[in-house]
Structure 1
Amino acid sequence: MPMKTLITALLLSAATVSHAAPVDPYGYKLPPSMQKKKKAAAPKKKAVPAIDYVGEFVNFGDWKEVRAFLDDLAARDGFDRAELGALINQVRYVDAAVQLVKPAPPGKPKNWQAYSKLMIDPVRIDAGVKFWNDNADALARAESLYGVPAEVLVGIIGIETVYGRNTGRFRVLDAITTLAFSYPEAPQRRERMEFFRGELEATLLFARQDGVDPLSLKGSFAGAIGMPQFMPSSLMKYAVDFDGSGKIDLQNSSSDAIGSVAAFLAGHGWQRAQGGPVVYAATVSPNRAWEGMLNQGLAAKYRSAELSTAGVTTAVPAPDQLYGLVDLQNGAEPTEYWLANTNFFAITQYNRSYFYAMSVVELGRAVRLARAPAPASSNASGM
C-alpha cells in the first residue's frame, strides 16, 4: 500500500508446493524451514478477530469543517452539493481506524530476521506460486510494458494482501472520513488530516468515474483498496484497466492489480535498464568510514568506487551504478548491510521501509525459485 502497511494475520493457502532447496545464480537460498516441505493437507482457517468497521453514527454533516469541505468539492469537482450532504449523512465514525493509525509504542529493537520470518513463509510462497502460474500472461505483459520483473510484482501483492486474501473489511468512506476530520493527536495531525481529505476527494472522484457506490468500497483501516492496497489518490493516478474490461477493479481483477503495481513503480523511478539484482549483500570495514553513508534518504547516491573506498565490499561484483547503503538491524544479532540500487528505492515509494522493500525482494525471489529451481552456480549473495 502506498502508505504504512499493517502486518496482518496470515490467512491460509491453497495447495502446497514441494520446495527442493533451490539456489539461484546469486546464491540466494530459501530458509531451511521452507525447504523439503512435505505435501500436507491445508490447515483449518483461524478465526479472524471481529473489527468494528461499521462504526458509530456521527452526524458529520453538522461539523463545520465537513460542510466547508463539501462546499469546496461541489465547486471544484462539480459534485451536486445536496447529494454530497446525503452521502456524508450515511458515513460512520470508526474508532478502530483512529486507534490503529496511532504510532506503536516503543518496544523491542528492530529485527529483520524476525520480520522476514513473518512475511516470507510457506503460506505466502505457495500462494505466490499459484498466483504466478494463474497470471503468467499478465505478469509477462506488465514486465514487457513497464520493465518491472514479474517476481517484484508478485512480491508486492503477496506482502500486501497474500494475493487478495486480506484486502481489508472497513468501508473506505468511513475510515477515510474519520481520519480526515478526527485524526488522533500527533505532531503532524493537521498535515495528516489534509492528506486524508485529499484521499476522501479521490475516493469520490474514483467512484464517480467508475460508476460505483462509494459506500460499497472496502479496504484497510487507512482506506487502502484491493489486492495491491492502493490509496485512492494512487488508484486515480496509477491504476490501469489491464484486463480490458472497461473499468478498474483492484479488488477482483488480478490483471488490473498487476498492471497497476507495475505502473506505480514505473512512475516512481523504476529503471528498466538497470536489470539484475536490486540489492547486493555487503560487508563493511571496522574503521566505519562508511557510516556517514547510512540514512541518506530513500535514494541511491553513491557509486561503487565511492563505497569501496569507504570500506564497503560485495562478494558478487556490483555493476557501476548508483547505490544506497542499507542497514537491516537484527536486534542483538549483527546488522546486515546491503547495497541497494535505484530500483530498490522505487519499491520504498510503495512503503517507506527498508524492511518492507527487502521483504518484497525476498518473497518474489523465493516464489520464483519455488516455481522453477535454478541450479547452483555460486555461493555469493545478491538479490
Structure 2
Amino acid sequence: MNNKTLLTLLLAASVAATSLFPSQLLAAPAETAKAKKAKAATKGKKKPARKAVSAPVSDYYTGEFVNFNQWKEVQQFTDEMATKHGFTRSELETLMGNVRYLDSVVQLVKPAPPGKPKNWTVYSSRFIEPIRIAAGVRFWNENAETLARAEALYGVPAEILAGVIGVETIYGRDTGRFRVIDTLTTLAFAYPVAPNREARMAFFRGELEATLLYARQTGIDPQSLQGSFAGAVGLPQFMPSNILKYGVDFDGDGHIDLRNSTADAIGSVASFLVGHGWQREQPGQIVYPATVSPARAWERFADGSLEAKFRPEDLTAAGIVTTSTLPPDMLYGLVDLQNGSEPTEYWVGSNNFYTITQYNRSYFYAMSVVELGRSIRLARP
C-alpha cells in the first residue's frame, strides 16, 4: 500500500473509538422532575423525520477474499457462538464465507512511529473550527428538546453531548465506510504483530461476538453495518459491545438505532458517560486553566493518569495554581497538553473531565469535546 492510499483511508476513516474496556451494564437512571417536564413539553408534537446518516451499503471499502472458514481460530469462534448463543454453524459459515480481509485496517491500527511530538494546537484545530462549530449549532437547534431531556434525565450538559457527537462524526457526516463485519473479523484473527497483540485480538473477538448478538436482537443483516476502521458504529461511534450495554431507545420507537436516530445517539452518549462515572452534582465547569511553578514539584501529578485523585490543597502545595478557585470537597488531576516545541498547556480536570477520557483515552480528545461544546454554546443565538 502506498502512502497516498493510506493517507486517503486515514482521512476517510472515522476519528473516534469508544472506551476499550467498558464497565458493567448501566440501568437507566430514574426520570427526574426536570426530565419529566422536558419530556412533557414534547408530548403530542410530531417527531422530526429521521435523517439517514450512514453511507450507502455499497459505498464501503472492499477488501480481499480470504476463506476465513478454513482458519482454525475462526472455526473455534464459530463453535463457541453456536454453543454459547445458539447460532447455527451453517449460518455462521455462510456469513464468514462473505467476509473480506481488510489489509487497510491492519495498517491503520499499527502504532504511530516513535519520536513524533504531540501537538495540542495542531490536534485541536481539526475539531474547534468554523465548519464543525456551525454544524454543531444546527445540530443543537434541531435537537434542542432531545438534548434538554437527556440533560435533565442523565445530568450530562447538552454542550458535552453535542461536543462528543461533533468530534466523533461531525454530526453524522462521517460515520465510517468500512463494513464492521470485515473490520472486526480481520482484527480479531489477523491483528498485526505488537506487544499487546493477543489482548487486542481478544478484544476484537468480543466485539465481533457483540455485533452478531446486536444484529440478531435488532433483526438487521450484520453485513449492512458500516463504521470506522476500528469497528465503531453510528453518530456516536459506539463499539458493538457498548451498543448492547449503553444503547438507549431515546426516541421510543422500540429500536436502538445509532446510525439513523439522533435521539438514540444523544441518549446513548449520556448513558455511556453516566455509566463511566459522570456525576450530575458536580459543577458545570469541569476543567480549569492552570500554571505550574518552576520548582517542578508538580511533576509527580503529571503521570498521565485518567482519573481525578488529588485534593485542591495537594495541587496548590506542589505549585499548581488555577486561575479560579477550585470547588472544595472534590478530587482533581493535572492535565498536560503538549504543544510540540512550544510550551505545554496545563489544566486541572475534575472527575467529569476524566469521565470523557473513558470514551476515548486521551486528554486531547476530552479537551476537544469540552472546547467544541463550549464554542457551539457560545455561537448559538
Q: Say yes or no: TM over 0.5.
A: yes
| CA deviation after TM superposition for structure 1 residue 104, in Å | 1.4
Question: Could you tell me how far 1:57 is from its partner in structure 2?
Answer: 0.9
Which residue in 1 is equivalent to 2:140?
132
Alignment match, 1:35: none
1:348 to 349, 352, 357: 357
Contact 1:328 1:354 in 2 (8 A): yes
| Matched residue type, 1:221 | F
Aligned match of 1:67: 75
Cα separation, partners in 2 of 1:239 and 1:275, compared to 1, 3 Å: same
Partner of 2:52: none
Cα shift at 1:53: 1.9
What are the Cα deviations for residues 224-249 of structure 1, in whole angstroms up to 9, with x where unaligned? Answer: 00000000011110011111111111
User: Which string of whole-angstrom CA distances, capped at 9 and with x for unpartnered residues, describes residues 196-236 of structure 1?
Assistant: 00000000000000010000001011110000000001111
Q: Deviations over 1:285-321 (max 9, x none)?
A: 1111111111152100111111111111111111011
Tell me: CA distance 1:88–1:344, structure 2 relative to 1, closer, same or farther (3 Å).
same
**Residue 369 of structure 1, aligned match among 368, 373, 378:** 378
Alignment of 1:179 with 2:170, yes or no, is no
- Taking the TM superposition and a 5 Å limit, the aligned residue runs for 1:20-31 are none
Distance 1:51 1:209 in 2: 25
1:280 to 288, 312, 320: 288
| Deviates most, 100-109 or 186-195 | 100-109
Residue 73 of structure 1 contacts residue 201 of structure 1 at CA under 8 Å; is this kept in 2? yes
Question: Aligned partners of 1:286 and 1:214: how far apart in 2?
Answer: 56
Offset, 1:106: 2.7
Distance in 2, Cα, partners of 1:330 & 1:182: 35
SS of the residue 2:344 aligns to: strand
Q: Aligned letter for 1:73?
A: M
Counterpart in the other structure of 2:214 = 206
Give the stretch that moved more between structures: 122-131 or 77-86.
77-86
- Structure 1 match to 2:29: none
Is the Cα–Cα contact under 8 Å of residues 51 and 96 in structure 1 kept in the other structure? no
Distance in 2, matches of 1:254 and 1:207, equals: 20
Q: Give the Cα separation in 1 of the matches to 2:98 and 2:126.
A: 38
> Are residues 1:98 and 2:106 paired?
yes
Q: What are the superposed Cα offsets for residues 353-383 of structure 1, whole Å, 9 maximum, x if unpaired?
A: 00000000000000000004xxxxxxxxxxx
Q: Distance in 2 between matches of 1:246 and 1:296?
A: 41
Paired with 1:153 and 1:72, the residues of 2 have a C-alpha distance of: 37
CA distance in 2, matches of 1:209, 1:333: 51
Alignment RMSD, CA only?
1.7
Q: Which residue of 2 aligns with 1:237?
A: 245
Per the alignment, residue 339 of structure 1 pairs with 348
> Quick one: which amino acid aligns to residue 362 of structure 2?
S
* SS at 1:272 equivalent: coil
Paired residues of 1:10 and 1:162 also in contact (CA < 8 A): no
1:308 has 2:305 as partner: no
- Structure 1 window deviating more from structure 2 (310-319 vs 262-271): it is 310-319
Matched-pair contact (CA < 8 Å) for 1:293–1:325: yes
Return the alpha-carbon distance in structure 1 between the equivalents of residues 154 and 60 of structure 2.
39
SS in 1 for 2:212: helix
Secondary structure of the residue aligned to 1:302 is: coil
Distance in 1 between residues matched to 2:362 and 2:246, nearest whole Å: 21
Whole-angstrom distance in 1 between the partners of 2:158 and 2:171 = 14
The residue aligned with 2:35 is none
Deviation at residue 85 of structure 1 after TM alignment: 1.0
Cα contact 1:325–1:339 (8 A) shared by 2: yes
Partner Cα separation in structure 1 for residue 125 and residue 12 of structure 2: 13
Measure how far apart 1:92 and its partner are: 0.8
Residue 341 of structure 2 aligns with an amino acid whose one-letter code is: A
User: Partner letter of residue 68 of structure 2?
Assistant: F
Work out the CA distance in 2 between the residues paired with 1:233 and 1:10: 20
CA distance in 1, matches of 2:378, 2:290: 22
Which residues of 2 match residues 290-301 of structure 1 at below 5 A?
290-295=298-303, 297-301=305-309
Structure 2 distance, partners of 1:141, 1:73, is: 38
Gaps of 5+ in 1: 1-5, 12-49, 373-383
Report deviation, 1:52. Answer: 7.0
Name the CA distance, whole Å, in 2 between partners of 1:51 and 1:291: 49
Matches within 5 A, 1:97-116: 97-106=105-114, 108-116=116-124
Return the alpha-carbon distance in structure 2 between the equivalents of residues 7 and 189 of structure 1.
21
State the identity %: 66
Question: One-letter code of the match for 1:226?
Answer: G
Letter in 2 for 1:344: F
Shift of 1:275: 2.1
3-state secondary structure, aligned to 1:240 = coil
For structure 2, the residue ranges without an aligned partner over 5 or more in a row are 1-8, 15-57
SS of 2:335's equivalent in the other structure is strand
Contact 2:332 2:349 (8 Å CA) reproduced: yes
Q: Which amino acid aligns with 1:359?
A: S
TM-score where L is the length of structure 2? 0.84
